[in-house]
Amino acid sequence: MAEALVLALRDLDGISPTVEERLHDAGIESVLELAAALPEEVAQVLGVSKERAYELIYSAQTALMDSGLLDKSFLSALDALERRKNLLKCTTGSKSLDALLRGGVETQAITELWGEYGSGKTQLCHTLCVTCQLSRKDGGFEGNGLYIDTESTFRPERLYQIAEARGVDPTMVLKNTFVCRVYNSSHLEFIVKNVGKYIEKYNVRLLIVDSVISLYRGEFTGRETLAERQQRLNKLLHRLLRIAEIYNVAVVLTNQVQSQPDMFFGDPNKPSGGHVMAHSCTYRIYLKKIGQDRKAIIVDSPYHPYSEATFSITDKGVVDIEDKRRGG
Ligand SMILES: Nc1ncnc2c1ncn2[C@@H]1O[C@H](COP(=O)(O)OP(=O)(O)OP(=O)(O)O)[C@@H](O)[C@H]1O
Ligand SMILES: [Mg+2]
């Protein structure tokens, strides 16, 4: 996976230091990222034809295949299963929620948390920033969290509290959690474009965007802007999925609800972002408040059946309801 970065872009034919610099400016940091880039994007960045961009992408793919860092185009299902063994799972802090996710939040995937205000999305993200640093045997990633905060709801004090309550060194947790406050959708796109180099530098295994949709919803009001909003969101989500796969990172996104006031029966809430969100997220978890506790429902997963779990929020962050009763 990330070992592919030992091959530098400038080692490829036709990539001069200037071309390399331009690719870096566009967020294409490694041969692996060039191999997975879109020809239109490369053509635009370098000011070359689409055919020339294809050639460069192809030479990146060939270099990776020759060095054994990229699988040949077809692999058997057995090899695919082997590759998925590289994926890691991180505990959410609640056994019941982990069971719902079949072990926890996964690398090489996008997990979407959607639900109403106060349903626990941000709390779960904070808890994951602590649990991801745990050792593998304690259910963690042995890696760090990178938190992209669009709503100014990241609280280092809360992270400190969760770590302390869980018996983890809070100063270490804070030192190894990297936060970026973003102010508008272009800023978010810029950060995501360049996030590859920080993932390597900071040993990141968990990438959070809380929330992925709020800036777009705020900036693109009115029906006439909907198509552009969806296009931009689609591009962002594709990039995030590519990052998850290339760097073996878990991407966790929060999403808001859109209420359907004309619905008289059933739950009037649905996730924002329409088909674009639905198609791009690997796992979609609906969080709901039930009294003092929370319910999580998994829908549309490639391999999880429809199922539900309950959990609670305490000083320890996300916990099982029984833990809360025991005073945990
Ligand atoms: N220390 C704590 N102990 C217990 N519960 C807490 C604690 N801190 C926060 N909470 C609970 O978490 C809720 C806030 O949840 P959270 O911020 O995760 O919501 P959200 O789903 O991110 O909402 P929004 O859509 O507004 O961002 C609070 O209403 C409270 O019930
Ligand atoms: Mg929130």
* The predicted structure's pLDDT at residue 301: 67
Using the mean position of ligand 2's atoms as its centre, give its distance from the Cα of residue 123 in Å. Answer: 7
* The predicted structure's pLDDT at residue 1: 43
Single out the residue of 311, 307, 250, 236 nearest to residue 282, CA to CA: 250
Ligand nearest the Cα of residue 209 is 2
> Which atom of ligand 1 is nearest to 292's Cα?
31
> Which atom of ligand 1 is nearest to 211's Cα?
27
Please state, in angstroms and rounded to a whole number, the distance separating the CA atoms of residues 206 and 150: 17
Q: What angle do CA 143, 146, 147 make, to 5 degrees?
A: 140
Task: Name the CATH topology of 2-66.
Answer: DNA polymerase; domain 1 (1.10.150)
Structure tokens at 120: 């626990």
* The predicted structure's pLDDT at residue 71: 63
| pTM, rounded to two decimals | 0.85
SS3 133: coil
* The predicted structure's pLDDT at residue 2: 43
Using the mean position of ligand 1's atoms as its centre, give its distance from the Cα of residue 319 in Å. Answer: 13
Using the mean position of ligand 1's atoms as its centre, give its distance from the Cα of residue 210 in Å. Answer: 13
> Which atom of ligand 1 is nearest to 126's Cα?
18
Q: What is the mean pLDDT of each run of 10 residues along the chain (328 residues)?
A: 60 90 88 87 92 92 78 70 85 97 95 96 98 97 98 97 98 98 94 90 97 93 89 93 91 92 77 89 94 91 81 98 83
* The predicted structure's pLDDT at residue 74: 67
Using the mean position of ligand 1's atoms as its centre, give its distance from the Cα of residue 241 in Å. Answer: 27
Q: Where are the domains of the chain?
A: 2-66, 87-325
* The predicted structure's pLDDT at residue 202: 96
Maximum distance among all alpha carbons in the chain?
65
Q: Which residues pair with 307 in a beta bridge?
A: 298
Please state, in angstroms and rounded to a whole number, the distance separating the CA atoms of residues 43 and 311: 48
* The predicted structure's pLDDT at residue 304: 72
Dump the DSSP string for 5-66: GGS-GGGSTT--HHHHHHHHHTT--SHHHHHTS-HHHHHHHHT--HHHHHHHHHHHHHHHHH
Task: Name the CATH topology of 87-325.
Answer: Rossmann fold (3.40.50)
Using the mean position of ligand 1's atoms as its centre, give its distance from the Cα of residue 101 in Å. Answer: 21
Ligand 1 atom 17 nearest Cα: 122
> Which atom of ligand 1 is nearest to 113's Cα?
21
> Which atom of ligand 1 is nearest to 115's Cα?
21
* The predicted structure's pLDDT at residue 177: 98
Ligand 1 binding pocket, CB closer than 6 Å: 115, 117-123, 153, 256, 313-315
Place of tokens 């059946």: 305
Ligand 1 atom 24 nearest Cα: 117
Using the mean position of ligand 2's atoms as its centre, give its distance from the Cα of residue 120 in Å. Answer: 7
Pocket test for ligand 1, best of 112, 114, 116, 122 (most atoms within 8 A of CB): 122
